[in-house]
Structure 1
Amino acid sequence: MATDVKRHPFIHPRSRRLHLVIMLMAAFFCLGQMTSHIGLSLSCMCNSTAVALLSNASIDKSEDLQLDLNASTSDESCTRLQGRTVKDYGGSFVWSVKTQGNIVTATFVGGFLFAYPAGFAVDRLSARHLLSLAIFVLSLMSLSMPLLVEQFGATSAIVVRFIMGISDALLLPSLNSMITKWIPLHEKSTAAALFTSGNQFAGIIGTPIVAELCASPLGWPAIFYSGAVFGFVWLAVWHFAIRNSPHKSRWIHERELDYLENHLPKRALGLPKKRTPWKSMLTSSAFWALMYSSILGNMMIALVFVYIPVYFKDVLMLDVQANGFYSSIPNASNLFAKIAWGMWMDRMKRNGTIHPTTACKLSQFIAMMGIAISCFVLRYLDCSTPIAALILLSGVSASFGLSISGFYTSLLSIAPSHIGALTGVSTVIGFTGRIFTPQLISYFKTIGTAEEWGNVLLVYAVMSSICAVVFVLFGSGEVQPWDESKRLSAVQQTKLSLISEDKNKLQEETAETNS
């Protein structure tokens, strides 16, 4: 039996934990399809020329600003038009850059305010049902968005996105809770790389879909309707296919169940919940290294999944369909990098070649330095070098993919008994990065020139460099001493030691009596 347990594969057609991870991947895809394309969606909804004309304070001669629907991005036209031509995707709303930033930020504010209550709920209620609730609300809001915006304008868009943020906050700790109940420590990097790749599929597949819908006679409302359809289909499959834990699952093989019972932390198998050790958690250097990494990670999520299409529109002056194609490439690089790297890290951990903490630190360091270098070089490019800009943005996205084996694997590993609370706190603190990003971009951006975006990229380069150093010094990939499963193991070892001592005493007393 021990041999069977050791050899049970994760990547196998009959692996129920693989089925779970695929469904979580699909949940991330639905989330991304309904929330992450807001940057490109707003570009389709708004009249960019009229919006730029509102920014007269930062434009020397507003009358020189020209509408550009068909200009090419050749070197000659780019040089001639740079700084005074705005690429327009034919939208009708005239919402200022600040208003658009507020619409993007509303989701992050909703997530920020409800992140800890969501984590608290996940530790006490069914993660499966909470995940269903999150996707249902997201789908309903996506379905309602076009009608509400047409009737009530930008204010209704802010409200809808705020409610979506609440659902987003509920979704992440629910996902993490399911992972801790199903996936052993030595498989978490691979599992995290796989299920978070739903974000990349939303970029690789979803961004071109959004671009085509924007350019089609259906227009921008179809973007939101299509996201709702994906969500409702996912809900139907999730309801019938997945259960909260392995021993409640349908169709799981007995050998896989034995494997999981021998490799999962005891808390994940359903032992009584314990009080969260707040003092130990908040005084842990590994916790705070994780929190700073979470802030930077959320800033990267906002940049890669929301603002890359906006960058392509502003700086490279791409039309909407070319934008959809270009935007899918960084997502593809992210997907390939994080899955390949995550599987390699897990293989080395299984073989004992690398320690879990070393794997997390190495992954996070390479990820952050790759982002810092790419962003620093990217700020010197403009629409005369579109291929070089695309390569560097793909480098940014690929580097960020490696951080799944870094800070995100650390999040899933350091406190499995308190994953809901830890994820809640991490999401609250991390969401400050998502809230900060639209405000950062709105602060520097008026028209969207390469120089304005260069200032944004410099901030990213500096913060990423700091993150690399902080995580190498203080990060961890192991269960911390303050986690309940660690304390439980210590208690069990003490009990075993006492039993052994009692047994030895009994043997000694029996020997003395016989003599």
Structure 2
Amino acid sequence: MVLKDIIAENSDETAAVNDSPKVGVRHLQSMLIFSGFCVAFMQRANLSVAIVAMMDRNSTNPDFPEYEWSEQTKSLLLSSFFWGYVLMQIPGGQLAQRFGGKVMYLYGVGISGFLALFTPLSAQLGDWKFICAIRFLQGFCQGSLYPSTHTLLAQWAPPAERGILATLCYSGPQFGTIIILSISGTLAASKFGWPSIFYVSGGCGIIWCLVWLLWSADAPHQSKLITSKERNYIESELAAISKSENNTTSAKLPTPWLSLFTSLPFWVLLLCNCAYNWGYWTMMTQIPSYIKNVFDKDIQSNALLSALPYTANLVFGLCFCALGQVLLSKKVLSTNASRKIFNTIGMWTPMTATIALGFVDANNVDVAVILLTVGVGTDSATFLGYLLNHMDLSPNFAGAMMGITNCAANCMSIFAPLLVGVIVTDTTNPNQWRFIFYIMAGFYFIANLLFITLGSTKLQPWNEPVKRDIDRVQENVE
């Protein structure tokens, strides 16, 4: 190739980057993932809100059955989703890497939607046992969502736009939870009764699947909607950080388990995800009980206050996203500095709010609710921290990494409430609750300190398949 051709090629590539579309199909993909998460979390949270009406003995609607379940049975029903969810995390990452994020995301939302539609019938046929089975299967299906999202973003999100596209995607869970909390009371009181909560959430999932099949794609080169300008922009930006000659082939390679589990930055990510889930689910599931028993205010019975932490999480997340994009685009912060600053905001601000919550006077319930809202809201900054760091370390294996770290993290979301049950023997005793807050704050502090000191945004050597691996895969394909 002569010098003139090289200059022309580089000029075309530079022009494609500089002339990249501000809004394009990559944003459409993120919106589709956002809406998928939205309906998935409507399906996840529907039983949490519907079970109140299902167990209401004073219901004025005699057309729908009420169930006399014990508190133990209720806890069993509400936890059964997470049994399947944890079980599918690591296989979900492997399957997304093998078959593509599009198929696995469709499987996760679509089958879960069908199961939601059959939940009222399962209650009539097999009481709580059938519902447990339905919820287990829903969790099993949805276990592939986060790994699939990371797999898709690794193909669709240019490095400079990972923050805004990922935050858009991961705002879906909060939005879906807000929706189901807002409409569940009205649906349960309608002539269709509590079953309508499951029908609406399941029906939305089926509708979403049709749109997903029409407009989604695993990568820019597989999309029928993308322009050549946008495709060249995305692929050139991704190529700048990866020397892989064949991304499609490398995506079929087996996960480098030994390299991954001997990677210090990966272990830092795993610890961060565990600490985040411990803190988040402690705040979301236990602190409302703390406020009710210590401050004598039931925020769970108030739809507005119930949705407030999720709303704050959504709003703060979008604000952090906009701020992070501005700082990166104007080169105020490097990628490494951005990840660590936002992760610090997302972990140490909730840590401070939680410690302060333990010292709030019982007469200042409004201050307690504000601290809860700030704590849950600001942890969305971690979307721009450790959560994106999976793709920084290894775009080719981001989905597999997310499956592993999310599996461990969701185990923490199961253990955290159990520890509360062991320590808090008197729910009206603020001193016992304060010990729970110290444990949560300790997890946040240590995890973020490790992320600051030992975390990395450098592309890891094991991201790129070695030549012999490529040859072996190509031989197998042939």
CA–CA distance in structure 2, aligned partners of residues 381 and 39 of structure 1: 29
CA–CA distance in structure 2, aligned partners of residues 402 and 326 of structure 1: 22
2:458: which partner in 1?
478
User: Is 1:462 the counterpart of 2:442 in the alignment?
Assistant: yes
CA–CA distance in structure 2, aligned partners of residues 260 and 223 of structure 1: 40
1:146: which partner in 2?
120
What SS class does the counterpart of residue 302 from structure 2 fall into? helix
The code of the aligned residue for 2:103 comes to H
Deviation at 1:306, TM superposition (A): 5.8
Deviation at 1:10, TM superposition (A): 6.5
Indicate if the aligned counterparts of 1:190 and 1:342 stay in contact, CA closer than 8 A. yes
What SS class does the counterpart of residue 124 from structure 1 fall into? helix
CA–CA distance in structure 2, aligned partners of residues 213 and 115 of structure 1: 32
User: Is 1:401 the counterpart of 2:380 in the alignment?
Assistant: yes
Indicate if the aligned counterparts of 1:37 and 1:305 stay in contact, CA closer than 8 A. no
CA–CA distance in structure 1, aligned partners of residues 362 and 176 of structure 2: 26
* Deviation digits for residues 106-126 of structure 1 (CA, Å, limit 9, x no counterpart): 222212222111111111113
User: Is 1:427 the counterpart of 2:418 in the alignment?
Assistant: no
1:363: which partner in 2?
342
1:199: which partner in 2?
173
User: Is 1:27 the counterpart of 2:7 in the alignment?
Assistant: no
* Deviation digits for residues 438-472 of structure 1 (CA, Å, limit 9, x no counterpart): 43454456896574765544432232222222221
| Shift in alpha-carbon separation, 1:96–1:449, aligned structure 2, 3 A | farther
User: Is 1:270 the counterpart of 2:248 in the alignment?
Assistant: yes
Mapping for residues 271-310 of structure 1, pairs under 5 Å: 271-272=249-250, 273-303=252-282
CA–CA distance in structure 1, aligned partners of residues 277 and 152 of structure 2: 21
Deviation at 1:305, TM superposition (A): 5.9
CA–CA distance in structure 2, aligned partners of residues 139 and 36 of structure 1: 13
2:326: which partner in 1?
347
Match of residue 222, structure 1, among 192, 196, 219 = 196
Indicate if the aligned counterparts of 2:288 and 2:298 stay in contact, CA closer than 8 A. no
CA–CA distance in structure 1, aligned partners of residues 247 and 388 of structure 2: 20
| Shift in alpha-carbon separation, 1:449–1:158, aligned structure 2, 3 A | farther
CA–CA distance in structure 2, aligned partners of residues 313 and 164 of structure 1: 31
> Would you say how many aligned residue pairs link Structure 1 and Structure 2?
446
The code of the aligned residue for 2:411 comes to T
CA–CA distance in structure 2, aligned partners of residues 445 and 144 of structure 1: 37
CA–CA distance in structure 2, aligned partners of residues 45 and 233 of structure 1: 26
| Shift in alpha-carbon separation, 1:213–1:437, aligned structure 2, 3 A | farther
Indicate if the aligned counterparts of 1:136 and 1:232 stay in contact, CA closer than 8 A. yes
Mapping for residues 76-225 of structure 1, pairs under 5 Å: 92-216=66-190, 218-225=192-199
What SS class does the counterpart of residue 118 from structure 2 fall into? helix
Indicate if the aligned counterparts of 1:379 and 1:450 stay in contact, CA closer than 8 A. no
CA–CA distance in structure 1, aligned partners of residues 379 and 184 of structure 2: 23
1:7: which partner in 2?
18
Mean CA deviation greater in 471-480 or 307-316: 307-316
Mapping for residues 498-509 of structure 1, pairs under 5 Å: none
CA–CA distance in structure 2, aligned partners of residues 183 and 430 of structure 1: 25
Larger CA Rg, structure 1 vs 2: 1
What SS class does the counterpart of residue 425 from structure 1 fall into? helix
Deviation at 1:278, TM superposition (A): 1.8
What SS class does the counterpart of residue 270 from structure 1 fall into? helix
CA–CA distance in structure 1, aligned partners of residues 286 and 22 of structure 2: 34
Gaps of 5+ in 1: 51-66, 70-90, 492-515
| Shift in alpha-carbon separation, 1:104–1:10, aligned structure 2, 3 A | farther
Identity across matched positions, percent: 24
What SS class does the counterpart of residue 399 from structure 2 fall into? helix
Q: With structure 2 as the length reference, what TM-score do the two structures score?
A: 0.83
Mapping for residues 244-263 of structure 1, pairs under 5 Å: 244-263=218-237
Indicate if the aligned counterparts of 2:279 and 2:444 stay in contact, CA closer than 8 A. no
| Shift in alpha-carbon separation, 1:10–1:468, aligned structure 2, 3 A | farther
CA–CA distance in structure 1, aligned partners of residues 51 and 417 of structure 2: 13
* Deviation digits for residues 289-334 of structure 1 (CA, Å, limit 9, x no counterpart): 10011112333453566667766766654487x6221122222221
Gaps of 5+ in 2: 1-11, 60-64, 471-478
Mean CA deviation greater in 226-235 or 36-45: 36-45
The code of the aligned residue for 2:107 comes to L
The code of the aligned residue for 1:202 comes to G
The code of the aligned residue for 1:410 comes to N
Deviation at 1:11, TM superposition (A): 4.9
CA–CA distance in structure 1, aligned partners of residues 21 and 344 of structure 2: 27
Q: Aligned-pair RMSD on alpha carbons?
A: 3.2
The code of the aligned residue for 1:459 comes to I
| Shift in alpha-carbon separation, 1:108–1:249, aligned structure 2, 3 A | same
CA–CA distance in structure 1, aligned partners of residues 22 and 417 of structure 2: 39
Mean CA deviation greater in 355-364 or 95-104: 95-104
The code of the aligned residue for 2:307 comes to S
Indicate if the aligned counterparts of 2:265 and 2:455 stay in contact, CA closer than 8 A. yes
Indicate if the aligned counterparts of 2:288 and 2:299 stay in contact, CA closer than 8 A. no
What SS class does the counterpart of residue 153 from structure 1 fall into? helix
User: Is 1:412 the counterpart of 2:380 in the alignment?
Assistant: no
CA–CA distance in structure 2, aligned partners of residues 448 and 258 of structure 1: 59
Match of residue 334, structure 1, among 313, 324, 329 = 313
Deviation at 1:409, TM superposition (A): 0.9
